Amino acid sequence: MIIIFQILFASFVLYVFGSIAKKRKQGMLGVKGLLFWVLFWLGALTVVLWPEALSRLADVFGIGRGVDLAIYISMAVVFFLLFRLHIKIECVGRDITTLTREIALLKHNEK
Amino acid sequence: MFIAIVPAYNEEKRIVTVIEKLEGHVDRIVVIDDSSFDNTVSLARNAGAIVLEHTVNRGQGAALETGHAYARSVGAEFVLHFDGDDQMDPHDIAPALAYMKEKKAQALIGSRRLDEHSTVPWFKRHILLPIGKMINHFFVRERLSDVHNGFRILHKSVLDSIVIEQDKMAHATEIPAKIIAKKIAFVEFPVTFTYHEYGQGTLSGFTIIKDLLFSKFISK
């Protein structure tokens, strides 16, 4: 059963690498983003293919089970991504404000 | 030229009264409509104000900065921030401007706490405002007698040196913070508020803190 999951997950990671490469080619992903996502998915693949590696890493950090370490890391990553997403939304909001202001002034000057 | 900047969002019940009250106190009244879906725009225009229309709702801070952009373009000497909900008293304007000139200040910030004229709800006066003052002090780095007072008069030199980047209500912390950070001479002046509605509640306080914190991570 675990082998089927490992094959499916490895195939999914390959698909993800493909889309990362595509996004990079299209100029939608910077070097930092590329490194982050490649390392993230490589880490996830390592953990799925060699689950005992995670247990050993958990031991190093003094955490009982490997799965606990995976949950902690996942939560940290999710919070970090949420934070980045929020910042991005704020930046887009500011751009919308600038455009809204320009349009308001232009419309007024046209009258 | 002395321009009143009046941000308004769905203020059809009060905007005409505000404009009528402001007449004679300033040279020009500019209403920044923040994409209202009521009749604020037509009513304000018919009442004689210049109306700039935001096609998308962006918040009070964004509306004030649009007013600043307009004031810069017409070379206004002073701008007044005046709310569109008829809670401020236009009779404060002339003495405030005179006091500002007397003290050779470039900015004036209104205060509800320097006298007892304002009718501030009990919970707001004794609970929210003191907490707000403490939090404000963290961001502004100087003790002000009031917090988030929307009555301000700014000289054109201030408009040239600060840009409001907080689109929503956090601009009320951002403006004094920037005035102080840029060492602009400012004074506080007692102004009268008459509350028709409660104003900002506890939840919007958390939003303001969140906006101020997140803005630290946004590159200019």
pLDDT of the residue at B100 = 95
Which of B22, B59, B57 is closest to B208 using CA atoms? B59
- CATH architecture classification, B2-215: Alpha-Beta Complex (3.90)
Which of B3, B190, B5 is closest to B84 using CA atoms? B5
Across the A:B interface, residue pairs with CB atoms under 8 Å apart total 49
Q: Taking residues A47-67, what's their average pLDDT? A: 85
- Choose the closest CB to A101 out of B66, B165, B218: B66
Total residues belonging to chain B:
220
- Whether residue B37 contacts residue B102, with contact meaning beta carbons closer than 8 Å, is answered with no
Q: Taking residues A66-76, what's their average pLDDT? A: 87
A18 and B CB contact within 8 Å: no
Residue B134, classified by CB atoms within 10 Å of its CB into exposed (0-12), middle (13-18) or buried (19+), is exposed
For chain A, domain boundaries: 1-49, 67-111
Q: Taking residues B45-58, what's their average pLDDT? A: 97
| HSE-CB of B67 using CA atoms within 13 angstroms | 33
Look at B52 and A96 and tell me if their CB atoms are within 8 Å: no
- Whether residue B106 contacts residue B157, with contact meaning beta carbons closer than 8 Å, is answered with yes
- Whether residue B92 contacts residue B191, with contact meaning beta carbons closer than 8 Å, is answered with yes
Give the Cα separation of B154 and B131 in Å (integer).
27
Asked if the model's pLDDT at residue A24 lies above 80, the reply is: yes
pLDDT of the residue at B195 = 72
Partners of residue B53 on adjacent β-strands: B33
The whole-angstrom distance between B116's CA and the closest CA on chain A is 37
Residue for token pair 């017409």: B74
For chain B, domain boundaries: 2-215
Look at A96 and B65 and tell me if their CB atoms are within 8 Å: no
Residue A90 belongs to what H/E stretch?
Answer: helix A66-110
Give the Cα separation of B151 and B178 in Å (integer).
16
Residues of B in contact with A91 (CB under 8 A): 218
A88 and B CB contact within 8 Å: no
Asked if the model's pLDDT at residue B123 lies above 80, the reply is: no
Tell me the percentage of chain B whose pLDDT exceeds 90.
Answer: 65
**Residue A34's pLDDT band (boundaries 50, 70, 90)?**
very high
Residue B39 one-letter amino acid: N
Mean residue pLDDT of chain B comes to 88
Sheet of B50-53: strands edge to edge?
A: B50-53, B28-33, B2-8, B78-81, B152-155, B107-111, B186-190
Mean pLDDT highest for which of A4-18, A47-61, B60-74?
B60-74
- Whether residue B173 contacts residue B208, with contact meaning beta carbons closer than 8 Å, is answered with yes
Higher pLDDT, A104 or B122: A104
Q: Taking residues B93-97, what's their average pLDDT? A: 96
